[in-house]
Amino acid sequence: MAKPEYETHEHDVIVIGAGGAGLRAAIEAAAQGVSVGLICKSLLGKAHTVMAEGGIAAAMGNVWPEDNWQVHFRDTMRGGKMLNNWRMAQLHAQEAPDRVLELERFGALFDRTKDGLISQRDFGGHRYARLAHVGDRTGLEMIRTLQYHAIHQGIDVYMECKVERLLKDGDRVAGAFGYWRNTGQFVMFKAKAVVLATGGIGKAWKITSNSWEYTGDGHATALWAGADLIDMEFVQFHPTGMVWPPSVRGILVTESVRGDGGTLKNNQGERFMFNYIPEFFKGETADNIEEAERWYADKKNNRRTPDLLPRDEVARAINSEVKAGRGSPHGGVFLDICTRRPADYIRKRLPSMYHQFKELANVDITREPMEVGPTCHYVMGGVRVDADSTQATVAGLFAAGEVAGGMHGSNRLGGNSLSDLLVFGRRAGLHAALYAKNLGGTVTIDRAEVESVARAALEPFSRSGGENPYAIQAELQETMHTLVGIIRTEAEMRQALAKIETLKERARKVRVEGGRVYNPGWHIALDLQSLLTVAECTTLAALERKESRGGHTRDDHPYTDDTWGKVNVVLRLRDGRVQVSREPLPEMPAELRALFQERK
């Protein structure tokens, strides 16, 4: 075969992924005066951040002056069942308000309080109304604001470009190699530092709120480049996704519906969440309807409604109701806001939910309840990073946003994602730029490695026989859904591992029709590698953790176990195989530990 051709671009820092974290990182790196390249798989501004609906969690205290970073920190840690990297949770809670205000200075227009400050709304697991929001399209506001700020900062944007591999110069990162989706031509980026901001892995499951992009590229390429992954067993199933019609199954129904007064009911009309309040949250959750109703107006003297328990709890509860035969006609439960809030209020606060149901499901949410059920939404696990600098265990590699692990522990609170993107996106951009500045000189690339990646990428075109990549992707999604879903057992996961092994084998023989220009069949064939890798990682980690905690529920180990509360499951690639190990969590300092003893 002839030597594959590729073009080369050189930057101090490249950022892979242009969602909230990637854009914020690129802006910060550019502000440090280094040359920045921003690579995205889709068009600029289409990243998954636009799907975030509820808001940005930040303890600004605009609505409840009692709120502060300590409360936010405590909520985050408790939501993550104490498995979070405490330092990340601390930085996150401390810096989020500044990041939100900064967004406002970039031009974002949040909904306002009566005093003209940024309004904040209630969300699951947050003690106070804390989410800065714009109706139910906060993510869109965030990405548009960052996007339009970024385009004036001298950043080079490479759109519809997919990174296949990270490149290394000895032990440190030296760039990335990929292809243009438009033309199918290869492209190489030389860089001193690489920021991963590629999002999650949700496309490995069948019912998911995630788009085609969420194939775990960042997780997989980091692993292949030698970086550690942690907490990969923790996958968040958002409790409320659409369930009907089948073609929209999994599309997200924002938690704001519950934050703004919606309640969950089973087919008997019962508010079943009152039956699922776990011991851990008893102290802060109302155990009767009267108190829950009072809480909306008076948060100081009443406990929170169980409809707003953290997502893992609600998802499991819905799952149990449906299994017990108390579900809605299409296998979900009812989410009712129409009998609880006036139609105008619903349309004003939840305009895109209103349209989504009206146009896709013929349901008018101001008159009828919605049918909802759990949908794969977010992976808590990811690249293991240093909390302050976001640097991975490979020099020059940084990660922020969903692709980074540790911040959310075993379960993420709603609203903490957008703030995570901003806080750690900025830190990643800053530290990548500083790293690149300190490094000096140039990096060198192993051309032979690049060429072998390119050759492998082109192989599916020349195979005869072989399989349709769509079929393999669909089987993987089915496998993960039935065998590594919300409720897991050892036997099923062993089955899943075996299945993934055969799928890997079949993926090696996949065949692609047509040419290289914008060929989705080929793109899926290439994405299969990372998708299979992350599926394997999640399954391995889930097998290892023999307890139930947050986004990881084992039917064969149904209880939370304190000894497991002190370790992360770490994955790393050694000699071509994924190794699993348990490593202790960083120790929380005494003054922060005290926050959890004050009120039990």
Partner 1 sequence: MPPATLKVFRGQAAQGDFREYRVDVDEGMVVLDVIHRIQATQAPDLACRWNCKAGKCGSCSAEVNGKPRLMCMTRMDIFEPGETISVAPIRTFPLIRDLVTDVSYNYVKAREVPPLRLRPPDADGKYRMMQEDVDRPQEFHKCIECFLCQDVCHVIRDHEEHKPAFAGPRFFIKIAGLDMHPLDTLNRTEFVRRQAGIGLCNITKCCTEVCPEHIHITDNGIIPMKERMADDFDPIVWLLRKFRGGRPEPA
Active site residues: 238, 258
Beta bridge partners of 230: 382, 570
Q: How far apart are CA 248 and CA 480, in angstroms?
A: 19
In angstroms, give the least distance from the CB of 154 to partner 1.
11
Among 82, 193, 361, 531, binds partner 1 (CB under 8 A): 361
Backbone torsions φ then ψ of 594, nearest 5 degrees: -60, -30
Q: Does 247 bind partner 1 (CB under 8 A)?
A: yes
In angstroms, give the least distance from the CB of 208 to partner 1.
10
In angstroms, give the least distance from the CB of 235 to partner 1.
20
The smaller minimum CB distance to partner 1, of residues 359 and 556, is found at: 359
Q: What separation in angstroms does the CA of 79 have from each of 124, 126, 288, 590?
A: 9, 9, 22, 20
The smaller minimum CB distance to partner 1, of residues 149 and 557, is found at: 149
The smaller minimum CB distance to partner 1, of residues 148 and 559, is found at: 148
Q: Does 296 bind partner 1 (CB under 8 A)?
A: no
In angstroms, how far is CA 289 from the centroid of its own chain?
33
Residue 232: HSE in the Cβ half-sphere, 13 Å Cα cutoff: 33
Residue 139: HSE in the Cβ half-sphere, 13 Å Cα cutoff: 23
Q: How many residues bind partner 1 (CB under 8 A)?
A: 64
The smaller minimum CB distance to partner 1, of residues 355 and 582, is found at: 355
- Please, which of residues 135-174 interact with partner 1 by CB under 8 A? 135, 137, 140-141, 144, 148-149, 151-152, 157, 159
Tell which residue, 161, 152, 121, has the closest CA to residue 14: 161
Among 305, 356, 390, 568, binds partner 1 (CB under 8 A): 356
Q: How far apart are CA 417 and CA 405, in angstroms?
A: 12
Q: Does 238 bind partner 1 (CB under 8 A)?
A: no
Among 6, 280, 296, 518, binds partner 1 (CB under 8 A): 518
Q: What separation in angstroms does the CA of 464 have from each of 420, 474, 503, 509?
A: 46, 22, 18, 9
Stretch that binds partner 1, among 205-213, 443-451, 498-506, 565-573 (CB under 8 A): 205-213
Q: Does 105 bind partner 1 (CB under 8 A)?
A: yes
Tell which residue, 513, 432, 433, 500, has the closest CA to residue 467: 513
Q: Does 103 bind partner 1 (CB under 8 A)?
A: no
Q: How far apart are CA 226 and CA 236, in angstroms?
A: 26
In angstroms, how far is CA 441 from the centroid of its own chain?
35
Q: Does 409 bind partner 1 (CB under 8 A)?
A: no
The smaller minimum CB distance to partner 1, of residues 80 and 135, is found at: 135
- The answer to whether residues 52 and 138 touch, using CB atoms and an 8 Å cutoff, is yes
Pairing of strands 131-132, 156-158: unpaired
In angstroms, give the least distance from the CB of 213 to partner 1.
7
- The answer to whether residues 384 and 392 touch, using CB atoms and an 8 Å cutoff, is yes
- The answer to whether residues 377 and 208 touch, using CB atoms and an 8 Å cutoff, is yes
Stretch that binds partner 1, among 15-23, 211-219, 543-551, 569-577 (CB under 8 A): 211-219
Q: How many C-beta atoms lie closer than 10 Å to residue 74's C-beta?
A: 18
Q: How far apart are CA 577 and CA 575, in angstroms?
A: 6
The smaller minimum CB distance to partner 1, of residues 213 and 336, is found at: 213
Torsion angle in degrees (nearest 10) through CA of 335, 279, 565, 87: 70
Report residue 289 as tokens.
């309807």
Q: Does 329 bind partner 1 (CB under 8 A)?
A: no
- Please, which of residues 79-98 interact with partner 1 by CB under 8 A? none
Q: Does 594 bind partner 1 (CB under 8 A)?
A: no
Stretch that binds partner 1, among 218-226, 302-310, 317-325, 348-356 (CB under 8 A): 348-356
The smaller minimum CB distance to partner 1, of residues 145 and 410, is found at: 145
Q: Does 67 bind partner 1 (CB under 8 A)?
A: no
Strand order through the sheet with 229-230: 382-383, 229-230, 567-574, 577-584
Mask: binding to partner 1, 169-188, rule CB under 8 A, as x and -? -------------x------
- Please, which of residues 447-466 interact with partner 1 by CB under 8 A? none
- Please, which of residues 23-62 interact with partner 1 by CB under 8 A? 42-46, 48, 50-51
Pairing of strands 156-158, 567-574: unpaired
Q: How far apart are CA 45 and CA 24, in angstroms?
A: 13
Q: Does 107 bind partner 1 (CB under 8 A)?
A: yes
Among 388, 446, 501, 513, binds partner 1 (CB under 8 A): 513
Quote the Cα angle for 335-337-340, to 5°.
135
Residue numbers at the binding site for partner 1 (CB under 8 A): 42-46, 48, 50-51, 101, 104-107, 109-112, 115-117, 134-135, 137, 140-141, 144, 148-149, 151-152, 157, 159, 182, 211-213, 244-248, 251-252, 352, 355-356, 359-361, 468-471, 474, 512-515, 517-522
